[in-house]
Amino acid sequence: MNERQRITLHEVVYDILPKLKAAEVMIDNTLLAILKATEEPLEQARRRDQQDTMELELFTIRLNIKHLLTRYSQDMQAMRESEENGAATGEGPVLTLDDGEAQAIEKAKMLHERLVAMQKLSC
């Protein structure tokens, strides 16, 4: 098993999931702002296609991460209970990813990076 196919539960919950939420907001806000500012029909069509592609990518990432969290739901519940009780959880358990989940984690990171770069260019 390679390094790419292992991740801590803490990283999923406190790094990957917030990046997905931010990506969702950026897709809505940044591309919408770009669309509103663009008057050329070809550019508008390109940006709509770009938005559709990113939304589809986000959907498939979410499906795979949901699958991961379902497989590790007991660990997730234990971490949540420890946090609620004020116990230190550290990094939590190390999760073993299947190929789809590993790809989703990598794609989530890359999608977030692309959207941050796009947002910087549009400002």
Beta bridge pairs of residue 94:
8
pTM score, whole prediction: 0.81
Q: What is the DSSP letter of 3?
A: G
What are the φ and ψ backbone dihedral angles of 8, each rounded to 5 degrees?
-80, 150
pLDDT at 1: 46
Task: Give residue 94's region: left, alpha or beta (phi > 0; psi -120 to 50).
Answer: beta
Residue 66 and residue 116 in contact, taking contact as beta carbons nearer than 8 Å:
no
For residue 22 the two structure tokens come to 């931010």
Check residue 62 and give its pLDDT.
95
What is residue 116's predicted lDDT score, i.e. its pLDDT?
Answer: 87
Per-residue model confidence (pLDDT) at position 3: 53
Which regions of the chain are under pLDDT 50? 1
Task: Determine contact, residues 53/118, Cβ cutoff 8 Å.
Answer: no
